[in-house]
């Protein structure tokens, strides 16, 4: 009998389990910390909020979020880290034993295993362009976000930063390459409000002896960091589900 081909989520799981086994999960903190800290400052997080870290990897950003929303006069905030790679989730759990307000869940952005109208804030770092069906992921995000909830999607790969396109061919899984205008349009089509974008430069220095496999040269890497990542921000309207055009998968 012919072997069953993996579905798109299984391909992602397999590939990111490999990354995790090679220690890439924890290493990504070094690459994404500067732009993520700038994003977290814009999230206006408060103690007591419920936050989703979508595509959380090894969980370093989840822990940053958990420290901010944890116990406070306004309540006990909790953070859910969700990832399609079970190995990333295992590593994230192992590194977060001191936290009692984090829950890591193995699952896909294509079918978020959570209840409706729940999360006040969502952060997703360097993950959204991998999602096989971005429309479906946005419909799922809309479903699990609370009315007035705010979404923050941070991505390094997008058309308006031409230097980022240098590493598309090196990836072993398919990705979406869209422009900032196309992403804004996509979010609006999913009924999100107050859709905005910003470019978030990475201000960390690149030493002259830095080795890169992803860029043609260090000058290209520096130019990529100067233009920066794309931060997409959008709010769910003051509306409980079902949302307009919402599909039950
Ligand atoms: C480049 S890594 C970034 C991880 C983490 N956010 C960070 O910055 O270190 C992309 C992550 O997205 C996850 N991912 C990819 N596709 C996914 C999907 N469909 N659902 C949930 N997570 C996904 C991967 O498993 C991986 O951990």
Give residue 73's pLDDT: 65
Q: What's the rounded mean pLDDT across residues 20-40?
A: 96
Give residue 68's pLDDT: 95
Crossing angle of helices 180-189 and 134-144, in 10° steps, is 50
Q: Mean pLDDT in the chain?
A: 94
Measured CA to CA, the distance from residue 21 to residue 134 in angstroms comes to 27
pTM of the model: 0.95
Cis peptide leading into residue 143 (ω within 30°):
no
Mutate to test the pocket of ligand 1, among 130, 144, 157 (most ligand atoms within 8 A of CB): 130
Mutate to test the pocket of ligand 1, among 11, 30, 82, 83 (most ligand atoms within 8 A of CB): 83
Dihedral (C-alpha) 79, 83, 88, 91: value to the nearest 10 degrees?
A: 20
- Cβ neighbours for 159, distance < 8 A, ≥ 6 positions apart: 165, 177, 178, 179, 180, 182
Measured CA to CA, the distance from residue 82 to residue 185 in angstroms comes to 26
**pLDDT at 244 exceeding the cut of 70:** no
- Which of 97-106, 179-188, 210-219 shows the lowest mean pLDDT across its residues? 210-219
Give residue 1's pLDDT: 65
> Which is more confidently placed, 156 or 246?
156
Query: For 64-118, how does the pLDDT look when each residue is reduced to its tens digit (9 = 90+)?
Result: 999 999 976 667 899 999 999 999 999 999 999 999 999 999 999 999 999 999 9
- Which of 71-75, 176-180, 181-185 shows the lowest mean pLDDT across its residues? 71-75
Q: What's the rounded mean pLDDT across residues 20-28?
A: 96
Ligand 1 in reach of 62 Cβ (< 6 A) = no
């Amino acid at each position: 009998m012919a072997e069953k081909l993996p579905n798109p989520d299984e391909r992602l799981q397999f590939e990111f389990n490999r990354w995790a086994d090679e220690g890439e999960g924890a290493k990504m903190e070094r690459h994404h910390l500067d732009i993520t800290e700038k994003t977290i400052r814009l999230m206006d997080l408060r103690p007591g909020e419920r936050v989703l870290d979508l595509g959380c990897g090894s969980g370093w950003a989840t822990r940053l979020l958990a420290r901010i929303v944890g116990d406070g006069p306004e309540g006990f905030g909790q953070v859910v880290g969700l990832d399609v790679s079970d190995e990333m989730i295992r590593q994230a759990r192992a590194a977060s034993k001191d936290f009692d307000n984090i829950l890591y869940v193995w699952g896909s952005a294509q079918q978020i295993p959570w209840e409706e109208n729940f999360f006040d804030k969502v952060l997703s770092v360097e993950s959204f362009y991998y999602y096989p069906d971005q429309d479906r992921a946005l419909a799922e995000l809309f479903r699990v976000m609370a009315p007035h909830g705010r979404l923050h999607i941070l991505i390094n790969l997008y058309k308006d930063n031409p230097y980022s396109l240098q590493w598309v061919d090196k990836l072993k899984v398919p990705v979406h390459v869209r422009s900032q205008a196309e992403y804004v349009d996509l979010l609006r089509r999913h009924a999100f409000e107050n859709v905005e974008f910003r470019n978030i430069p990475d201000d960390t220095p690149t030493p002259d002896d830095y080795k890169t496999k992803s860029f043609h040269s260090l000058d290209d890497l520096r130019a990529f960091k100067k233009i920066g990542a794309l931060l997409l921000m959008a709010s769910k309207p003051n509306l409980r589900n079902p949302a307009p055009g919402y599909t039950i998968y």
